[in-house]
Amino acid sequence: MDPTSTVVDIYRLVTEDIGRKLLRESAGSESCCIVRIPQSLARINLKAYEPKILSIGPYHHGKEHLQMTQQHKRRFLKFFVAKMEEKGIDPQELVKAVSSLENIIRGSYSEDLGFDSEKLNAMDFAVDPSRSSPFGKPETFWEKHYGLEAKHLLDLIRKTFVPVTSQRSIKDHNYLTILCCSEGKHGETSSKSSDHEYLGFVLSAKKLHLRGIKFEARKNTDSILDIGYSNGVLHIPPVVMDDFTASVFLNCVAFEQLYADSSNHITSYVAFMACLINEESDAAFLSERRILENYFGTEDEVSRFYKSIGKDIALDLEKSYLAKVFEGVNKYTSKGFHVHCAEFVHTHFDSPWTFASSFAALLLLMFAALQVFFAAYSYFRPPKGK
E-state strands within 127-272: 214-217, 228-230, 233-236, 239-241
Shared-domain flag, residues 279 and 360 = no
Same domain, yes or no: 223 and 309? yes
CA angle 379, 385, 386 (to 5 degrees): 40
Order of all β-strands in the sheet with 214-217: 214-217, 233-236, 228-230
Residue range(s) defining the domain that contains residue 237 = 139-338
Residue 171 in 3-state DSSP? helix
Is the pLDDT reported for residue 16 higher than 50? yes
Rg of the chain over all Cα atoms, to the nearest angstrom: 30
Are 117 and 147 in the same domain? no
Q: Is the pLDDT of residue 3 over 60?
A: no
Question: Are 228 and 293 in a shared domain?
Answer: yes
> How far is the C-alpha of 374 from the C-alpha of 386, rounded, in Å?
17
Residue 67 has pLDDT above 80, yes or no: no
Q: What is the pLDDT of residues 79-88, one digit of tens each?
A: 888 888 888 8
252 and 192 assigned to the same domain: yes
Whether residue 329 lies inside any domain: the answer is: yes
Could you say which of 104, 131, 158 is where a domain stops?
Answer: 131
| In the predicted structure, residue 289 carries a pLDDT above the cut 90 | yes
Q: Are residues 184 and 298 in the same domain?
A: yes
Q: Which of 26-30, 34-38, 95-99 has the lowest mean pLDDT?
A: 26-30
Shared-domain flag, residues 74 and 199: no
Please report the DSSP string for 330-364 in residue order.
HHHHHSSHHHHHHHHHHHHHSSHHHHHHHHHHHHH
Is 0.75 topped by the overall pTM? no
* Residue 349 predicted with pLDDT over 60: no
d(CA 244, CA 287): 18
The whole-number pLDDT of residue 226 equals 93
Return the higher-pLDDT residue of 149 and 304.
304
Residues 196 and 225 in one domain: yes
Please check whether residues 252 and 320 belong to one and the same domain.
yes
Residues 105 and 162 placed together within one structural domain of the fold: no
345 located within any domain: no
More confident residue, 182 or 284: 284
Instruction: Report percent pLDDT > 70 for the chain.
Output: 66
Q: Give tens-digit pLDDT for 185-228.
A: 444 444 444 467 888 999 999 999 988 899 999 988 888 999 99
Q: How confident is the model at residue 2 (pLDDT cuts 50, 70, 90)?
A: low
Looking at residue 25, its amino acid is: E
Helix, strand or coil for residue 303?
helix
Look at residue 15 and tell me if it is in a domain.
Answer: no
In a domain, 18, yes or no: no
Q: Which residue has the higher pLDDT, 351 or 189?
A: 351
Domain boundary among 102, 131, 160: 131
Name the pLDDT band for 294 (thresholds 50, 70, 90): very high
Q: Give tens-digit pLDDT for 353-378.
A: 666 676 677 778 887 887 777 777 67
* pLDDT tens track for 146-185: 777 878 888 888 988 887 666 544 434 433 333 444 444 4
| Residue 175: predicted pLDDT | 35
- The pLDDT of residue 27 is 57
Same domain, 77 and 195: no
Q: Of the residues 91, 109, 131, which one is the last residue of a structural domain?
A: 131
d(CA 274, CA 307): 6
Q: Look at residue 380 and tell me if it is in a domain.
A: yes
According to the model, what pLDDT value does residue 133 have?
44
In a domain? residue 294: yes
Residue 8 has pLDDT above 60, yes or no: no
User: Residue 1: inside a domain, yes or no?
Assistant: no
* Residue 204 contacts residue 275 (beta carbons within 8 Å): yes
Of residues 79 and 37, more confidence is placed in 79
Does residue 97 belong to any structural domain of this protein? Answer: yes
253 and 164 in a single domain? The answer is yes
pLDDT at 186: 42
Residues 6+ apart with CB under 8 A from 225: 161, 162, 163, 166, 237, 265, 266, 269, 321
Q: How far is CA 135 from the centre of its chain?
A: 18
Structural domains counted in the chain: 3
Q: Is the pLDDT of residue 238 over 50?
A: yes
Average pLDDT over residues 282-298: 94
| Residue 2 φ then ψ, to 5° | -70, 125
pLDDT value at 1 more than 70: no
Round the average pLDDT of the chain to a whole number and report it. 75
